[in-house]
Amino acid sequence: MNNNNYNTIIIGGGAAGFFTAINLAEQSQNHKIAILERGKDVLQKVRISGGGRCNVTHAQFEPKPLSRNYPRGEKELLGPFHSFMTGDTISWFEERGVELKIEEDGRMFPISNSSQTIIDCFISLARKHKIDILTSQNVASIEKTDHWKLKTKTDTFTSNNLVVAAGSSPKV
Ligand SMILES: Cc1cc2nc3c(=O)[nH]c(=O)nc-3n(C[C@H](O)[C@H](O)[C@H](O)COP(=O)(O)OP(=O)(O)OC[C@H]3O[C@@H](n4cnc5c(N)ncnc54)[C@H](O)[C@@H]3O)c2cc1C
């Protein structure tokens, strides 16, 4: 296996990319994982989310009413909410040392009131699991043969599995 060859590559160093990479690493052994991020830094939207406090979830514990808060995703989110709900999110962070609090309107934030707590949690878990976090790597092409081949301006990467967590970027 050369240096740019992975079991799984995740395109996008946002919340979804890190959450996927960490869960995958926790569930598999000796699985080489990389996150490719086009920006100079990862988790930039998490940093500014919730006015810098990161509104992690909402104290609504029923899938249907929660899904109604997503006007363009109400139908699509109902299924996933039956697999992973608010309570799972709260436990996920609690088990990894991040306590959340509920505000009067139901919004939930880290008790630190800082999105940096969420960033620190993701980065330290990624480091613990030896996930490669590769920045300034804008994936410009994806090819599929017996494996995935991804090209950026400077490098070529190969992997057995590919996860696209590129947010709302229309290009990937
Ligand atoms: C001002 C603001 C406040 C917000 N506040 C909240 C909040 O409090 N709570 C909340 O839940 N949500 C909030 N959101 C929504 C928030 O953006 C999403 O919940 C979350 O960031 C989505 O994460 P993601 O990983 O799917 O996407 P992103 O965070 O967008 O991550 C995708 C990553 O993929 C990278 N990427 C894209 N294309 C490529 C490519 N070709 N090659 C390599 N990398 C690529 C991007 O650079 C980016 O870093 C807020 C959004 C904004 C703009």
CA of 170 to the centre of ligand 1 (A): 13
Give 2-17 pLDDT, tens digit per residue.
Answer: 589 999 999 999 999 9
Between 3.40.50.11740, 1.10.238.10, 3.50.50.60, 3.40.47.10, what CATH number should domain 1-53+115-172 receive?
A: 3.50.50.60
What does the mean pLDDT of the chain come to?
Answer: 95
HSE-up (13 A, CA, CB side) for residue 66: 20
Give 47-85 pLDDT, tens digit per residue.
Answer: 999 999 999 999 999 999 999 998 899 999 999 999 999
What is residue 28's three-state secondary structure?
coil
Domain with CATH 3.50.50.60 in the chain: 1-53+115-172
Ligand 1 near 123 CB (within 6 A): no
C-alpha 94, offset from chain centre: 17
Q: Which residues contact 146 (CB under 8 A, 6 or more apart)?
A: none
Q: Which residues contact 29 (CB under 8 A, 6 or more apart)?
A: none
Give 117-163 pLDDT, tens digit per residue.
Answer: 999 999 999 999 999 999 999 999 999 999 999 999 999 999 999 99
Ligand 1 near 54 CB (within 6 A): yes
CA of 2 to the centre of ligand 1 (A): 30
CA of 107 to the centre of ligand 1 (A): 19
CA distances in angstroms from 38 to 14, 19, 31, 53, 100, listed in the order given: 11, 18, 23, 24, 30
